[in-house]
Amino acid sequence: MKLERIEHYKELFKTHLRETEDYSELYKYECIQNFITHWDLSDVDLLDRYSNSLTSSITGRLWGGSRNSAKSMMQEFIGLDREYMRSVFRDLFDEDKDLTGRIQRFRFHCDQLLNELREAKKKLTTHYHNEKMISLYLCFNNPLKYNLYSYKAFAKMMAKIELQEIPQVFELERFFKISSAIYNIISKDEELMSLHKTLRSNHLFYQEDTMLIVHDFFAICSHDDII
């Protein structure tokens, strides 16, 4: 990827932050604030903790809503075997372990529990825990290290900044590494960071520095009308 292209789109992103009257990406910062406020993996009532952590007064689209979604399926999993899912989340969040292995094991465990649920509920076909949903758990648990995964916007941005080999859909670890590299570039722009913090100054929104700004960068600058 070319630094001058990243700088070009960074300036366009900054202009958008300066001029927007209705910033479309704020919903994510309410969602992550709710997660951080409520999430406690050690709580005896893990189901209640999980349900309250994935809430929003704006939109639940990040997890697919409350029915036939990643959220509703995880509620089923926790209801089926709370302690098993507690250990599954602990493994996913264990930074001492290889990231790709953690992601693969998380999906494997979800597959296992889906098969168990199918014995009682034959119509179940998916648990909805794809790369996007797993990135949400990682990002919300560690906001300065992980980014939300939206492949379409990401791939378009990688083409715009002329990355020679765009990661495949399943290459989540490469996505995080590229996101981190871009964060290191755009976060050095103090004006940009200040503008962004001002937009989310309401107490409902997460106030700390977070990799989510890179998700915003991809979402805004990947639009076809931004060249």
Q: Considering the chain, what percentage of its residues have pLDDT values greater than 90? A: 86
CA–CA separation, 79 and 215 (whole Å): 32
DSSP designation for 61? G
Q: Which of 226, 158, 221 is nearest to 25 (CA)?
A: 221
Count of alpha carbons within 13 angstroms of residue 74, beta-carbon side: 28
CA–CA separation, 134 and 131 (whole Å): 5
Structure confidence at residue 122 (pLDDT): 67
Structure confidence at residue 75 (pLDDT): 96
Structure confidence at residue 85 (pLDDT): 96
Q: Enumerate residues 6+ apart whose C-beta is below 8 A from 196.
A: 17, 213, 216
Distances (CA, A) of 137 to 39, 56, 63: 11, 15, 10
Q: Are 132 and 148 in contact (CB under 8 A)?
A: yes
CA–CA separation, 59 and 50 (whole Å): 17
Q: How much is the pTM?
A: 0.94
Token output for 189: 């722009």
Kind plus residue range of the DSSP H or E element containing 48: helix 46-53
Query: Amino acid identity, residue 193?
Result: M
Structure confidence at residue 54 (pLDDT): 96
Q: Are 220 and 156 in contact (CB under 8 A)?
A: no
**Segments of the chain with pLDDT less than 70:** 122
Token output for 58: 């704006």
Q: Are 143 and 208 in contact (CB under 8 A)?
A: yes
Q: Output Rg (C-alpha) for the chain, integer angstroms.
A: 18
User: What burial class does residue 27 get, using C-beta atoms within 10 Å of its C-beta: 0-12 exposed, 13-18 middle, 19+ buried?
Assistant: middle
Structure confidence at residue 164 (pLDDT): 84
